[in-house]
Amino acid sequence: MTTIAEFSIGSTRILDPSGAVVGDLPDFASDRDELVALYRAMVLTRAFDAKAIALQRTGRLGTYASSLGQEAVPVGLAAAMRPDDVLVPSFREHGAQLWRGVTLEELFLFWGGDERGNDFAGPREDFPTCVPVGTHAPHAVGVALAMKLRQEPRAAVCVFGDGATSKGDVLEALNMAGVWQAPAVFVVNNNGWAISVPRARQTAAETLAQKAIGAGIPGEQIDGNDVIAMRHVADRALARARSGGGPTLIEAVTYRLSDHTTADDASRYREDTDVSPHWKQEPLVRLRTYLTAAHGWTKADEEALLRACDDAVDAAAETYLATPPMPPDAMFAHTFAELPADLEAQKAALTGGDE
C-alpha cells in the first residue's frame, strides 16, 4: 500500500486552568483593557444565564438553554469578528450576540417566546437564534458564498454543538464550503453532550476538528475554556476567510456544566463526580486569575463588575416583564404576503371578525 495523504490536527491553549500562560500570547493579550472587555462579556453572559434560569423556574420565561461554563467560546469568537461579518448562531451563543450588540432585553424577549426578540436593533444582518440542530450550517455557507460572489472581504461565522457534527446538514455544509472556498468559519462548541448522549457515543472520530479533513478544509482544536486562545484562533481563521483563503473548522473543547436546557435533568444520566472536575477548568476563573496576577485586577474591580452586570441584567429583566405581549393575531403576520383563505378564516375567528 502507498500512502497518498497524511493529516494532523493541531491544538491551541494559551492559558491553562490555573491561569498560567502556557502558549505564545497574541498581541491583544498584552492590553489590560482588551482582557477586561473579554472578562466583562463572560461575566455579563453568566449573569444573564442565571437570571434567565430563575425566570424560567418561576414561570416567567420559556424553555432556556444555558451556556454555563461555555462563555469563552462565543465571547472569544465575537471579539474576533468585525461588525460586518455575519453570525449564524445556534442556541448557546448569548455571549456572542451580546458582544455584537443584541440587547439583554431582546434576548429575554426571545426566550420568553416573543419574536420581537429576534428582530435585533443592533447586528441587522446576523441570523436569529437557530434551535433546530445544525440546520443553519447550510445557510451560513449560502451567506458566505454571496459574500464571495460580491467580492466582499467579509466572513460568515456558524456555531453549532458537537451533536450537530453527526448530522448531514453540517457535513454537507462543510463539503460545499470547501468546494466553493467560501469565506466561512465553523465553530464546534464541543461541550461533551448532545442532550443526554455523551461525545463518545456520537462518533468514533478522535477529534471533531478532523471532520474538516473530509471536506478538504483546515481544522484545528482549541481549549474552549481559554478565551484568549478562542479569540486568537478565530482571528486567524477570519483573516484567512476574508482574504480569500477559504473556510476553517474550529473545534472548541469545553464542558456543559448545566442541564441541556431547563426542560432537561442531567442528573438522570451523569454523576456529580463526572461534572465537578470541570468546574476547575471553567473560563471565568481562569482569566480572572491571570488578570489578577498579570494586570493587577483587584477585589474592588471584581465587586464593581459583578454589581454592574447584575444591575444591567435586572433592569433588562424588568423591562422584559413589563413589555405588553403581542396581540394573538400577530401569529398571522409576516409569514405570507397574502394570507391563504384557511388562515384568514382562523384569524377572523380569533379576532371576532367576519370570515
Question: Quick one: cell of 67?
Answer: 451556556
Alpha helix ranges (H) inside the chain:
32-57, 72-80, 94-99, 104-111, 137-149, 168-180, 227-242, 272-279, 283-295, 299-322, 341-351
Assess whether 269 carries a catalytic annotation: yes
**What residues have CB less than 8 Å from 137, skipping those under 6 apart?**
88, 158, 160, 164, 169, 170, 172, 173, 174, 186
Q: What is the distance between the alpha carbons of residues 193 and 207, in angstroms, rounded to a whole number?
A: 14
- The counts of H helices and E strands in the chain are 11, 8
> CB–CB of 248/185 below 8 Å?
yes
Which among 256, 286, 288, 290 is annotated as catalytic? 256
Contact 276, 211 (CB under 8 A): no
Burial of 244 (0-12, 13-18, 19+ CB in 10 A): exposed
C-alpha 102/C-alpha 93 separation (Å) is 11
Write down the catalytic residue from 154, 231, 236, 260: 260
> Is 255 one of the annotated active-site residues of the chain?
no
Q: Which of the residues 116, 240, 269, 270 is marked catalytic? A: 269
256 is catalytic: yes
Query: Could you list the active site residues?
Result: 256, 260, 269
